Amino acid sequence: MGRLKEKKSSSAVDDRVLVSKSKKGNKVAFEELVRRYSNYVYTTSFFILRNTHDAEDASQEVFVKVYLSIGGFRGLSSFKTWIRKLTVNTCIDKLRLRSKASNQKVSLDELTENCEVVFTNFNRNLEKVFLDKEMVKKVLNIIVSLDESYRIPLILRDLQDYSYREIAELTKKPIGTVKTNIHRARKTIKEKLKYYE
Amino acid sequence: MNNVNKYSKIARNIAKNIVVRPSENIEEKIINKISNIDESDRKLLDEKFLDYLRKNNSRLYLLNEKIKNNSGKVAALGSIVALLVIFLVAVCYLSSSENSSDNK
């Protein structure tokens, strides 16, 4: 636990140092930030946009925005929080521009054909309660196959820790609708998981 | 059903730590992109983005967001503080009235 805390704080300090160096125009420091967060940005984009090319475009766009504006970043929130919000905003904007036709049914296997799904911080104890990586993949599979109106609020709430109010603002929907959609999405996951039990 | 609830919740928690790695090297692509920024890329810093940047650089805005996102906790804390104040006022009032009756 102590080691985890230490690791976490050292990573946070490193981020601040890298951001500070990047602000002064140090390209090597910025490249390190890219290496550290590119997979995170890509994964977030991937689950929202459900398309490898769009996720790649969104990731590049996010880092270009970060690169061009890092001088104006005061660091009142962590770099990770800043880039997370920026990624979500960019993806939601891209989603709005898309046609309704692109909201088709897809599966995680189909989507991850050219990708690798990697588990980080996987807790061994969880395997004791018969929960394995396959189960997580099944849940993810159900999430990516959900309709956009259910998928986006659920991803923002459960995977990105957004508040209901923030989701309502982002998706431009009443808070009650957001809560209902998240509840229905969770219910769908549970119902579909019953088949695997 | 209880198991399903548990699995679903745990799986959604684990899913937070999942990383999807594309087949092509995304890092190199991004690094290449930022090495060759052109005028059209600068247009990405539109009014909406600048507004986001401005808000994220404002302590007042971030505090306001924090309060709005945790309105329940803030209300609970406010109630506890209010109850504590009422309790202290009552104690002070009772002790002062006891003192005055003793003096009489």
- CATH number for the domain including A37? 1.10.1740.10
Residue A100 and residue A111 in one domain? no
The answer to whether residues A88 and A179 belong to one domain is: no
Task: Identify the CATH number of the domain in which residue A121 sits.
Answer: 1.10.10.10
Q: A-chain residues within 8 Å CB-CB of B59?
A: 76
Structure tokens at B2: 């209880």
Asked if A190 and B5 come within 8 Å (Cβ–Cβ), the reply is yes
Distance from the Cα of B18 to chain A's closest Cα (Å) equals 5
> With bands split at pLDDT 50, 70 and 90, how would you rate the model's confidence at A64?
very high
Q: What is the ipTM of this complex?
A: 0.75
CA distances from B48 to A45, A86, A91, B66, B68 (A): 19, 11, 14, 21, 22
Do A117 and A25 share a domain, yes or no? no
Is residue A148 domain-shared with residue A183, that is, in the same domain?
yes
> Residue B57 has what pLDDT?
86
Q: How many domains does chain A have?
A: 2
Q: Mean pLDDT for each 10-residue chunk of chain B (104 residues)?
A: 69 76 84 88 86 88 88 90 94 84 68
DSSP secondary structure letter of residue A106:
-
Whether residue A9 is found in the same domain as residue A79: yes
- Mean pLDDT over the full length of chain A: 81
Query: What confidence score (pLDDT) does residue A99 get?
Result: 62
Instruction: Report the gap between the CA of A101 and the closest CA in chain B (Å).
Output: 25
User: Within a 10 A sphere around the Cβ of B13, how many other Cβ atoms?
Assistant: 14
Nearest-angstrom CA–CA distance, B37 and A187 = 45
The per-residue pLDDT for B18 is 78
Q: Is B22 in contact with A43 (Cβ distance < 8 A)?
A: no
Examine the domain organization and report whether A116 and A33 are in the same domain.
no
Q: Which of B4, B22, B31 sits opposite A193 (nearest CB)?
A: B4
Nearest-angstrom CA–CA distance, B51 and B55: 6
Chain B, nearest residue to A68 by Cα: B42
Look at phi and psi of residue B101 and say left if phi exceeds 0, alpha if psi is from -120 to 50, else beta. alpha
My answer on whether A92 and A144 are in the same domain is: no
Looking at the fold, whether A87 and A110 belong to one and the same domain comes out as no
Domain boundary among A104, A127, A142: A104
Instruction: State pLDDT tens for residues A86-125.
Output: 999 999 988 888 765 555 556 566 666 655 666 666 555 5
Residues from chain B that touch A53, judged by Cβ atoms under 8 A, are: none
Cβ under 8 Å to A: B residues 25-84: 26-27, 29-31, 33-34, 37, 41-42, 44-45, 48-49, 52-53, 56-59, 62, 65, 68-70
On the question of pLDDT at A130 being above 60, the answer is: no
Domain end residue (candidates: A84, A104, A124): A104
Domain match, A77 and A134 both: no
Domain that holds residue A144: 105-197
Whether residues A94 and A113 fall in one domain = no
Q: Which residue has the higher pLDDT, B19 or A131?
A: B19
Q: Is A148 in the same domain as A180?
A: yes
Residues 13-32 of A with CB under 8 A from B: 30-31
Going by their DSSP bridges, the two strands A115-119 and B18-22 should be labelled as antiparallel
User: Which residues neighbour B53 within 8 Å (Cβ) at sequence distance 6 or greater?
Assistant: A69, A72, A73
Best of B3, B5, B12 to disrupt the A interface by mutation (most A CBs within 10 Å)? B12
Residues A124 and A171 in one domain: yes
Residue A159 and residue B20: Cβ atoms within 8 Å?
A: no
Range among A48-57, A129-138, B16-25 with highest mean pLDDT value: A48-57
Q: What count of residues does chain B have?
A: 104
Query: Residue A192: pLDDT band by 50, 70, 90 thresholds?
Result: confident
Domain boundary among A104, A135, A168: A104
pLDDT score for A76: 87
CB pairs under 8 A between A and B: 158
Report the residue from B14, B29, B58 with minimal CB separation from A136: B14
